[in-house]
A = this chain, B = another copy of it.
Amino acid sequence: MFLRVDKLQIELPAPAQMDPNAGAALQELLGGKYGEMSTLGNYLFQSFNFRSKTKLKPFYSLVAAITAEELGHVELVSNGVAMLNNGPDEPDGDAGDGGDISQAPYEAMNDIRLAAAFLSNAGGAMPMNSNGASWNMDFVTTTGNVVMDLLHNFHLECGARLHKLRVYETLTDPTGREICGYLLVRGSVHAHAYALALKKITGVEIEKMLPCPNINLDKIPESQKYLAEGSHCRLYTFSPQDYADIAGIWGGGEMALPGDPPGDLEVIEGMPDGGKIHDLTGVPSAFTPDYAPEEMFEIATKLYKKSR
């Protein structure tokens, strides 16, 4: 089972301006081959299909716990896409923008790279890549063989890191850069964790291949605060009570990756503090809520009060 907490893993800075093409680039990190939907989908189905769960407990727990973190990554990138597609909230966006729908107020949307993101999804995120191609099961590997799955996951996290670097190199907006800076740190942890798991089973010191690609996180300004707080040394259980046994794989040693600040690898039961979810405004002329929005807001307020 899964529980949901109404926070993002980190607080995102507001976008500087509306930039749908940047939002589209960020889609590569959501629905691309090495995007968050892929890491999620792989670990989700691997954990469901895991054989000998009890006898191989810490390995199972590792995949199961990281799955939950990936859900939050899908959420984080999706929020970023929507924020970049829509731009900064206007103070009274919800209250009605006075836009005249007969005057082609969204003409500019014809020329964005992924027009359907506006036409069908109102600037929201979708499980697709930066070219508008859908995520699908061809991105999921679940073989029933533990070593094979772990090796795949190690390669997947390295690929994800490469793609995050490339997307980062295209973005100027603080929202998207913050996401990349954070995910590079967390992705490095995951690659590292899978490497240690592989080493436990096979004896191969595959973690010495890290960082792969070979760009240290100290070159990414947006990653520094996460390194400073030790995020690169922490693996979360993302569970109220389960999966603490991942400490058998992660823990009891020191961070030894080049370019990462030193520290002890530690398992944190639960999740990070997280940050507030951005409140997209409604812009009635484009998103055309039924019934005057004021009326809907009033209904919602009444229901909210009633519920408390």
Contact = CB atoms under 8 A, between A and B. Distances in A.
A201 interface: yes
Contacts of A33: 120, 138, 141
Interface residues of A, number: 171
A166 interface: yes
Contacts of A25: 109-110, 115, 119
Interface string A23-57: 01100100111100000010011001111111111
A88 interface: no
In the complex, the count of this chain's copies comes to: 6
Interface string A73-111: 011001100100000000000100000011011111111
Contacts of A282: 51-52, 55
Given A151-B155, A239-B6, A52 B293 contact: yes
Most buried by B among A65, A119, A289: A119
Interface string A191-216: 00000001011111110110011110
B125 A1 contact: no
A121 B135 contact: no
26 contacts: A2-B4, A2-B72, A2-B75, A5-B242, A45-B125, A48-B124, A51-B283, A52-B289, A52-B293, A59-B300, A110-B113, A110-B171, A116-B130, A126-B140, A131-B132, A134-B137, A144-B286, A147-B212, A148-B159, A154-B155, A200-B303, A203-B208, A209-B290, A214-B289, A247-B307, A248-B305
B213 A145 contact: yes
Given A50-B280, A116-B129, 11 more contacts: A25-B115, A115-B131, A116-B131, A145-B290, A166-B286, A198-B209, A201-B291, A202-B209, A212-B290, A215-B288, A248-B306
A251 B274 CA distance: 30
Given A28-B115, A134-B138, A299-B201, A215 B101 contact: yes
Contacts of A123: 49, 144
A306 to B, nearest CB: 5
Contacts of A302: 248
A219 B103 CA distance: 11
Interface string A225-244: 00000000000001111111
A3 B68 contact: yes
Given A143-B121, A243-B6, A308-B245, A45 B78 contact: yes
Contacts of A116: 28, 32, 129-131, 133
Contacts of A281: 51-52
Interface string A165-206: 111111110000000000000000000000000101111111
